[in-house]
Amino acid sequence: KRHLLSAADLSRDDAELVLKTAAELRELADRPIKKLPALRGRTVVNLFFEDSTRTRISFEAAAKRLSADVINFAAKGSSLSKGESLKDTALTLEAMGADAVVVRHGASGAPHRLAHSGWVRSSVVNAGDGTHEHPTQALLDAFTMWRHLAPSSGGSLDGRRVAIVGDVLHSRVARSNALLLNTLGAEVTLVAPPTLFPVGVESWPVETSYDLDGVLPKADAVMMLRVQRERMNGGFFPTAREYSRRYGLDGRRMATLQDHTIVMHPGPMVRGMEITADVADSDRSVIVEQVTNGVAVRMAVLYLLLGGSEPAVGGEE
């Protein structure tokens, strides 16, 4: 495959290949020297039109650990402020010889436009587009679930129950996870207040519920989502207090989980809103591990898209 634009681009075999490749590359994180020559001479451009901490930094770390050259482009401080279009920005990157463009954009569909416009020859990786998709987040989430819940399965999550809780309406993470987790055999339940489900959720491969307390005891993994107030144009119903009371994960609710159940959050979190600090910092929380796994998964994606030389993690540096 040339691009990664949607979790729906991945067949089960594709997804399991990414996860297995990431598992090999993940071993590097525990070594003093974390670098491989697999993408030497290749150029990866991080093209971020929207803010990011985890995704931008982990793509940069991933590319550098594979010895690619990395160019970081942030909209702030660029000629976009002078009215330059996506097309002219893309043509500029093409002229600089990018092999892969990792793009985050506030507009749903922008990475598809870049990939299918003919403006660039490079591979395009969607690093989050509007409220649409964030496929590498879903891959790192699936990787984290696999290692905790089904370590001997080869990447499948057959029969594992995942609750995704919160502002599904604005969440590209929820959509990509729903698609990928279904591909990998998991059973997904989305939990949200009625005002925070998207139109058309009936066609997603998931169950839906308004009742967090009813869903939690059955879940193997609970993924909390941030309430994205910046996408709400000032309106938010229910109120923040009511939201936390009904849909926040606190210590009392955490006590109703099964012993093996993990608590996840893609970040950035709003402590005290969708998750309390004691839950975020508890032994069940794999939130920091998700970030570490994100580097390995993004290395695997870049490596597989760009067809690098053998990663040979088991061999010489």
Annotated binding site for carbamoyl phosphate: 54-55, 104, 134, 137, 267-268
Q: Are strands 262-264 and 221-224 parallel, antiparallel or unpaired?
A: parallel
Of the pair 268, 307, the CB lying nearest ligand CP is at 268
Radius of gyration, alpha carbons of the chain:
19
Decide: 208 and 250 in contact? Cβ < 8 Å.
Answer: no
Please, are residues 166 and 209 in contact by the beta-carbon 8 Å criterion?
no
Residues annotated within the binding site are 54-55, 82, 104, 134, 137, 172, 226, 267-268
Identity of the residue, 38 or 300, whose beta carbon is nearer to ligand CP in the bound complex: 300
Binding site residue list for L-aspartate: 82, 172, 226
Q: Identify which of residues 176 and 183 has a Cβ nearer to ligand CP in the complex.
A: 176
Sign of the alpha-carbon dihedral angle for 275, 244, 204, 112: negative
Q: Write down the least CB distance from residue 54 to ligand CP, Å.
A: 4
Question: Which amino acid belongs to residue 40?
Answer: R
Query: CA of 199: how far to CAs of 168, 233, 242, in Å?
Result: 11, 18, 23
Q: Name which of 196, 256, 268, 199 is nearest 232 in CA terms.
A: 196
Residue nearest to ligand CP (CB): 55
Asked whether 73 and 98 are in contact (CB, 8 A), the reply is: no
What is the smallest separation between the CB atom of 298 and ligand CP, expressed in angstroms? 11
> What token pair was written down for 244?
């936390």
Question: Residue type at 49?
Answer: F
Nearer to ligand CP, 36 or 162 (CB): 162
Instruction: Give the separation between CA 102 and CA 5, rounded to whole angstroms.
Output: 10
Least distance to ligand CP, CB of residue 227, Å: 14
Q: Which is closer to ligand CP, CB of 111 or CB of 128?
A: 128
Q: How far is the CB of 233 from ligand CP (least distance, A)?
A: 20
- List interacting residues with ligand CP (CB under 6 A): 52-55, 128, 137, 266-268
Least Å from the CB of residue 177 to ligand CP: 11
